[in-house]
Chains A and B, each alone.
Chain A
Amino acid sequence: MAKDNQILEEITSREYEHGWTANLEADSAPKGLNEDIVRFISRKKQEPDWLLEWRLKAYRAWLTMKEPRWPNVTYPAIDYQDIIYYSAPKQKAAPGSLEEVDPELLKTFEKLGISLTEQKRLTGIAVDAVLDSVSVATTFKEKLGELGIIFCSFSEAVKEHPELVKKYLGSVVPMQDNYFAALNSAVFSDGSFCYIPKGVRCPMELSTYFRINAAKTGQFERTLIVADEDSYVSYLEGCTAPMRDEHQLHAAVVEIYAMKSAHVKYSTVQNWYPGSKEGVGGIYNFVTKRGLCAGDHSKISWTQVETGSAITWKYPSCVLKGDYSSGEFYSVAVTNNHQQADTGTKMIHIGKNTRSRIVSKGISAGLSQNSYRGQVHVLKRAINARNFSQCDSLLMGDRCGAHTFPYIDVENSTARVEHEATTSKIGEDQIFYCRQRGIDEEAAVALIVNGYAKEVLNQLPMEFAVEAQKLLALTLEGSVG
């Protein structure tokens, strides 16, 4: 036991890999939040009046709302006046092409293993890179454009495709949906926009990479994906932040709108800075993600691997409005040291013959607390709705916690809802079996954890799956007790 704890110490003292900061000059708003700041952001982004009005409405709604206290997490009160709501790396003018992007910026992303230089990219993933508050580059734009696919920064979408943005912004996550969504709606600075036209199957993975760089800055990005009839897209999201000893707030909104027979797959590997092993600093990750299966036979799948953030508060959900529509949620959430996660999903069955599937794998180590919170709601007219939920928890050591909060509301008697849950510990026997075959303790834990999470990892696109496996191993190696 003592030895296990020692290994745990050694491993958890490992430095966060993405903890560096880039030396970029930033153009920032003054600290704090009021209507002037909202106007400042809107002006900076040269937005049309309707969007400014929308922001202000959200801001006023936010003022009347209360921060949610129901999640199973604890943290000191956030001072919303002590946050910078807008920070942009200084560039001479908006870059017209990649050649005009500040080389220092490109270097920042190169360092993260994300090349924004299209010629060098072999993997065939189009990337929209967001640093602090603004999108700095989007790759493969022309190639996608030939198919009629729009993939660009949110700000650009507001300028180039206002009719689409106006129509779908807030259509899935209304501005007053919840406290953090309202805050985001008021101050969101950038993000990604994606539109897949009717009948088009997007030939490459689309990816957004988020990076917080500036200190004392909140990141409030917004992603909007609209999939027209019979279209398909697979979307990836990655994120990192520097190590700082104060908490930084990340309150994002992701909206997915799927029309008839559209299929959207959204995968996240979340690796925000989790704080030091003593629990100092780290990102507060308060995110609203929701997809609307608006059309019949549409499908939305969420896959998430959550390893970072001091606190995670996140419930990627599906509103199954179209008949025969289906929603999926696959999640691995890992917490170590002092991390806290309250994450899960909501599956709202509205249409007939709707299906949903939830596979959640929680892994807790150190002094962390890991909660699954999920809701399955079958409404009155949802005849023949089906849900299957599986929630597993894996505990490492004896000082962490795993919690499961399933909510099931069924208003139609033809519904079939199944819920399975297990809690287990990594067995000494399993570790010894591996060691007897010449596998050291760290590799054994990585092997066992990856096996445990396999069903979820299998859902990720190839390159992401490899990254996720490494990340899991890195977060947990040796955390046996």
Chain B
Amino acid sequence: MLHIHNLRAGIEGKEILKGINLDVKPGEVHAIMGPNGSGKSTLASVLSGREEYQVTEGEVTFMGKNLLEMEPEDRAREGIFLAFQYPVEIPGVSTVNFMKTAINQIRTYRGEEPLDAVAFLKLMKEKMKLVEIDQSLLNRALNEGFSGGEKKRNEIFQMAMLEPRLSILDETDSGLDIDALRIVANGVNKLRNPSNATIVVTHYQRLLNYIVPDYVHVLFNGRIVKSGDKELALELEKKGYDWIKNEPATA
């Protein structure tokens, strides 16, 4: 599904990713861990197409297409979803209106008819139930005055609505208390199926107790220095990141 080969990228001339290799297949959950400044969020940004980041080398294909040539909205329409670390406030625009615009633009891109109001409402009700979110939150201006937990739940709701092929959760656990974390993780788990995949970017192992990964990769200094299964995350939790820093790059 996603194939990253020797990806080098940076911002304002400073190289942050120094040759990333990663393959993600349908049905898989990959966790990307690493200390602050290792390049985790940069990877999420580059995959979703943030324009301030420049790719200097390497290739990324998604469903066989060259991802790096696509506009951010086309990546989204092809099925890439980024759950933001800091969801953005859009005053005066409700989540309902926002999602309706998004879904219909995506459907148009895919050559499908736009959803009418009734069909949209039905879909929304179904997904609301799935991720346990309240209608009143969805009628409010997007993320405006939301608590940290509400923002993240809203992200997962959007993910449910858009049914992406590949979801990238960027530090979704940051700023969440344990109850909010559980609700968010539950939502993600319910959305898992054999045809979609998830990349969980996180600093702490905690989230991985709830969203159990098939693979864990440790990112350090712009490279994946170690890969393993969920046991690796537990080991990191125990030992910290220091011991990893001395490992040679596996790439």
| A residues apposed to B, CB below 8 Å | 3, 427, 429-430, 432-441, 443, 447-448, 450-455
Question: Which of the residues B88, B106, B141 comes within 8 Å of A438, measured between beta carbons?
Answer: B106
Question: Which of the residues A435, A436, A438, A452 comes within 8 Å of B92, measured between beta carbons?
Answer: A452
B26 to chain A: closest CB distance in Å?
20
When chains A and B are docked, how far (Å) is the Cα of A259 from the Cα of B82? 58
Question: Which of the residues A3, A438, A440, A448 comes within 8 Å of B90, measured between beta carbons?
Answer: A448
Would A433 and B91 be within 8 Å (CB), given that A438-B76, A439-B102, A440-B73 are in contact? no
For A430, what are the chain B residues with a Cβ–Cβ distance below 8 Å?
88-90
Q: Do B98 and A447 have beta carbons less than 8 Å apart? A: yes
For A438, what are the chain B residues with a Cβ–Cβ distance below 8 Å?
73, 76-77, 102-103, 105-106, 109, 162
Would A451 and B76 be within 8 Å (CB), given that A432-B50, A436-B82, A440-B105 are in contact? no
Q: Do A437 and B76 have beta carbons less than 8 Å apart? A: yes
Residue of B nearest to A448 (CB): B90
Q: B71 at the A/B interface (Cβ < 8 Å)?
A: yes
10 contacts between A and B (CB under 8 A): A432-B51, A433-B88, A435-B76, A437-B98, A437-B99, A438-B77, A438-B106, A439-B105, A443-B105, A451-B93
Q: Mark B161-203, 1 if CB is under 8 A from A, else 0.
A: 0100000000000000000000000000000000000000000
When chains A and B are docked, how far (Å) is the Cα of A448 from the Cα of B77? 20
Q: B35 at the A/B interface (Cβ < 8 Å)?
A: no
For B51, what are the chain A residues with a Cβ–Cβ distance below 8 Å?
3, 432
Q: Mark B70-114, 1 if CB is under 8 A from A, else 0.
A: 011101110001101001111111000111011101100100000
For the complex of A and B, list the 9 residue pairs with the smallest distance between their C-beta atoms, beginning with the closest.
A451-B92, A451-B93, A438-B76, A454-B92, A433-B88, A437-B102, A435-B72, A438-B106, A435-B73
Q: Which of B42-85 contact A (CB under 8 A)?
A: 48-51, 71-73, 75-77, 81-82, 84
For B49, what are the chain A residues with a Cβ–Cβ distance below 8 Å?
435-436
When chains A and B are docked, how far (Å) is the Cα of A126 from the Cα of B10? 61
When chains A and B are docked, how far (Å) is the Cα of A427 from the Cα of B90? 10
Task: Tell me what chain A mostly uses at the interface: helix, strand, loop, or mixed.
Answer: helix
Q: Mark B131-142, 1 if CB is under 8 A from A, else 0.
A: 000000000010
Would A433 and B92 be within 8 Å (CB), given that A438-B73, A438-B106 are in contact? no
B64 to chain A: closest CB distance in Å?
20
When chains A and B are docked, how far (Å) is the Cα of A437 from the Cα of B104? 11
Would A433 and B105 be within 8 Å (CB), given that A438-B73, A439-B73 are in contact? no
Q: Do A436 and B105 have beta carbons less than 8 Å apart? A: no
Bin chain B's interface residue count: 20 to 34
Q: Do A447 and B97 have beta carbons less than 8 Å apart? A: yes
Task: Beyond the given A434-B102, A438-B106, please list 12 additional residue pairs across the A-B interface where CB-CB is below 8 A.
Answer: A430-B89, A430-B90, A432-B51, A437-B158, A438-B73, A438-B102, A440-B71, A441-B73, A447-B93, A450-B92, A452-B91, A452-B92
For A447, what are the chain B residues with a Cβ–Cβ distance below 8 Å?
90, 93, 97-98, 101
Q: Do A433 and B162 have beta carbons less than 8 Å apart? A: no
When chains A and B are docked, how far (Å) is the Cα of A323 from the Cα of B42? 62
Residue with the highest number of chain B CB atoms closer than 10 Å, among A427, A434, A438, A441: A438
Would A450 and B93 be within 8 Å (CB), given that A435-B71, A443-B105 are in contact? yes
When chains A and B are docked, how far (Å) is the Cα of A437 from the Cα of B109? 13
When chains A and B are docked, how far (Å) is the Cα of A451 from the Cα of B75? 25
When chains A and B are docked, how far (Å) is the Cα of A432 from the Cα of B75? 12
Would A443 and B101 be within 8 Å (CB), given that A436-B48, A436-B82 are in contact? yes
Q: Do A453 and B101 have beta carbons less than 8 Å apart? A: no
When chains A and B are docked, how far (Å) is the Cα of A357 from the Cα of B225? 62
B67 to chain A: closest CB distance in Å?
13
For B73, what are the chain A residues with a Cβ–Cβ distance below 8 Å?
435-436, 438-441
For B141, what are the chain A residues with a Cβ–Cβ distance below 8 Å?
451
When chains A and B are docked, how far (Å) is the Cα of A476 from the Cα of B13? 33
For B90, what are the chain A residues with a Cβ–Cβ distance below 8 Å?
430, 433-434, 447-448, 451
Residue of B nearest to A449 (CB): B92
A231 to chain B: closest CB distance in Å?
33
Q: Do A436 and B72 have beta carbons less than 8 Å apart? A: yes
When chains A and B are docked, how far (Å) is the Cα of A439 from the Cα of B103? 8
For B76, what are the chain A residues with a Cβ–Cβ distance below 8 Å?
435-438
For A435, what are the chain B residues with a Cβ–Cβ distance below 8 Å?
49, 71-73, 76
Q: Which of B185-226 contact A (CB under 8 A)?
A: none
For B99, what are the chain A residues with a Cβ–Cβ distance below 8 Å?
437
Would A437 and B162 be within 8 Å (CB), given that A432-B50, A447-B97, A447-B98 are in contact? yes
Q: Do B98 and A427 have beta carbons less than 8 Å apart? A: no
Residue with the highest number of chain B CB atoms closer than 10 Å, among A427, A432, A450, A455: A432
Q: Do A451 and B105 have beta carbons less than 8 Å apart? A: no
When chains A and B are docked, how far (Å) is the Cα of A455 from the Cα of B72? 30
When chains A and B are docked, how far (Å) is the Cα of A440 from the Cα of B109? 11
When chains A and B are docked, how far (Å) is the Cα of A427 from the Cα of B109? 25
For A441, what are the chain B residues with a Cβ–Cβ distance below 8 Å?
73
When chains A and B are docked, how far (Å) is the Cα of A447 from the Cα of B102? 11
When chains A and B are docked, how far (Å) is the Cα of A117 from the Cα of B102? 39
A360 to chain B: closest CB distance in Å?
15
For B92, what are the chain A residues with a Cβ–Cβ distance below 8 Å?
450-455
